[in-house]
Amino acid sequence: METSIIVSDMSIEEHTLTGLYPSSEYHAWISAKSIRGEGGYTHVLVSTQDYVPSEPLEIKTKVINSTSLFVEWKPPMQDENHGFIIGYQIYIHGEVNEEELVAEEHSYIVTNESALNSLVTDLQPDSTYKVQVAAMTRKSRGIPSRNKVVRTPEGVPSRPLLQIRLFADESLTVAINATWINSSKTPGGILGWRLRYGKRPNFCVNFENHQFEKLDMKEIILNGYDTNEYTVRRLENGFKYQFRLAARNDVGYSQEALAEVNTPEAPPTGPPTNISFHFITADTVILTWDVPEAFRCSNDRLLGYILQFHKNMDDYFIMEKNSSTPKMVISELEEDTSYNFRVCGYTTEGIGPFSENMYFSTITEIVRAPSNVQALATSNNSMEVWWDEVSPKAIVGYRIYYTRNETMALDMWSCKDVQITYSAELKNLVHFASYYIQVACRTKEGGFGRLSKIVQVELKPKEVPTQFEFGTTFHWYTSISWNAPRAFKPHYYKVGFDYLFEMGVSFIRFDVIDDQKHRTGLSVEWSEISSCGDERKQETSGPAHQ
């Protein structure tokens, strides 16, 4: 979101910006403004200080039962940034012995800045945990509180030993055979078992640490002490599955034994979904789609997509393109033509099914692209772009596309719109960077014509004077100076300027000067006469001294 601030008092040379967010970067552009318009911008990049909330106070825990506990806390000490806290995160760290993790880690996020307690569930019985609480801001998490040690009740069987074996069953789907060994401690005897399993969503759940994610577990209850095996069939390819097994006595369930297995990859079972398109220019269209449904939370490595398209009346000449992302740009389309297209995904195991055929059509007459597009760096962070004008009958202006990454889809390029002209200046660019430029006409119908050829330019000015500066200025005198171009030695300089008569001018004298630093410049002097109140433009040329 951009905010504009106008400072009308000319005696003020600074302004304080308030209400900024900590740990953030802000871009500021400063310009002078007169009755004739707004001047050039000066760009400033500002970083606000980091804010890390201090630790919450007075952490208290209360065991509810063998698998849950209640956590309470008080907010961090008050300071001027306290309002940036948006919630809290509770860390539950399981105790680790020499062999394995006795109780796994949990994390609970409380997205309410005023909440000061939470119920923690899904813990293991007869286990020791360390509890910490940290405040959260939109950008970071604060200092966690000191560990609070708590232990869940015992009286249940000890944890069994679980083993998982992967195999293909008669239906050629993935199946898992789970076997286990009875618990070593069985107070009161084992009455049965609980087997839970679910697939990890890995990259489709927005958690910083996937070990904290909650799984959608299916549950199987097995009665009887002698049951030590179970087969789970019809699992999906390309997922990591987690299995948990617990023994049950008359008190409750034991700690869960945990095992994980990756099912093998397979070709996509479905096509990409939600396919759409829109025209960027009259001869350039961008196609987008969603990942096939079965791959949204899968471990399968979806390597990319295949797009097939052809003219509506030409089924024999099918063009094919590959993309590693669910997006593709097709350019240089013919006018007044319909195109059919479809798309599919593929993995190392093969391609999946194609989507249904879709089509788009171009307009009857496409405005030609501007020709002879050229660009030249005018400073370390600006450039001038010019081109041969197109007939103004069907256009209202031009759009200049520019980017530092030529392979980026055109809808991600920066752009600038101008009226009917033959040149434009691009400012506030990245210093000394290399840019790619394309130009298209803006039509009266609100669309765009064909794109010009790509032009590359580096922001290293060699053919223009640089570091243009004003020196001492009085109401009757000023001086300007600049560095000569690096690419050649000029014979003359041409200086253009505008001025508004307030007291009138009888003459203007230009003296070309040269200092010891090899900077060339002009001294400008004028004298005052009676007011004439008109506005003129003056240009002058003089010999350059090097």
Q: For residues 493 and 471, what is the distance between their CA atoms, to the nearest angstrom? A: 18
- pLDDT at 531 > cutoff 80: no
The three-state (H, E, C) secondary structure of 226-237, written as one string: CCCEEEEEEECC
Q: Residues 293-298: what's their mean pLDDT?
A: 55
pLDDT tens-digit profile of 103-122? 556 777 887 778 888 888 88
Which residues are within 8 A (CB) of 432 and not within 5 positions of it... i.e. 6 or more apart?
A: 380, 458, 459, 460
Please state whether 378 falls in left (phi above 0), alpha (psi between -120 and 50) or beta.
alpha
Q: For residues 278 and 281, what is the distance between their CA atoms, to the nearest angstrom? A: 9
pLDDT tens-digit profile of 167-210? 866 666 788 999 998 877 777 788 889 999 998 765 443 334 44
Which stretches does DSSP call E strand in 121-256? 128-136, 148-151, 161-168, 174-181, 192-199, 218-223, 229-235, 240-248
Cα→Cα distances 97→128, 212, 313, 340, 540, Å: 11, 20, 71, 62, 86
- pLDDT at 101 > cutoff 70: no
pLDDT tens-digit profile of 63-76? 877 778 899 999 88
Q: For residues 110 and 70, what is the distance between their CA atoms, to the nearest angstrom? A: 13
If pLDDT is split at 50, 70 and 90, which confidence band does 289 have? Answer: very high
**Topology annotation, domain 286-361:** Immunoglobulin-like (2.60.40)
- Residue 285, token pair as written in the block: 């269209």
If pLDDT is split at 50, 70 and 90, which confidence band does 502 have? Answer: very low
Cα→Cα distances 273→35, 287, 420, 456, Å: 55, 12, 41, 36
Angle ∠(78,82,83) on CA atoms, nearest 5: 140
pLDDT mean across residues, the chain? 79
Q: Comparing 161-262 with 371-458, is the CATH topology the same?
A: yes
Domain 161-262 is of which CATH architecture? Sandwich (2.60)
pLDDT higher at 399 or 394 = 399
- pLDDT at 291 > cutoff 70: yes
- pLDDT at 400 > cutoff 90: yes
288 neighbors 341 (Cβ within 8 angstroms): no
- Residue 223, token pair as written in the block: 């009665």
**Topology annotation, domain 371-458:** Immunoglobulin-like (2.60.40)
According to the model, what pLDDT value does residue 518 have? 45
According to the model, what pLDDT value does residue 542 have? 39
- pLDDT at 358 > cutoff 60: yes
In the chain, what are the domain boundaries?
161-262, 286-361, 371-458, 466-543
DSSP string covering 279-325, please? Answer: EEETTEEEEEEEPPGGGTT--S---EEEEEEEETT-TTS-EEEEESS
pLDDT tens-digit profile of 207-261? 344 444 567 789 999 988 788 899 998 888 778 899 999 888 888 888 888 899 8
How many CA atoms are closer than 13 Å to the CA of 204, on its beta-carbon side?
A: 16
DSSP string covering 338-400, please? Answer: EEEEEEEEEETTEE-PPPPPEEEE--SSPPPPPEEEEEEEEETTEEEEEEEPPPTTSEEEEEE
133 neighbors 109 (Cβ within 8 angstroms): no
- Look at 43-57, 339-353, 509-523 and tell me which has the smallest mean pLDDT: 509-523
- Look at 47-56, 100-109, 535-544 and tell me which has the smallest mean pLDDT: 535-544
Q: For residues 173 and 143, what is the distance between their CA atoms, to the nearest angstrom? A: 48
| % residues pLDDT > 90 (the chain) | 24
Q: Residues 493-521: what's their mean pLDDT?
A: 52
Q: What is the DSSP letter of 335?
A: T
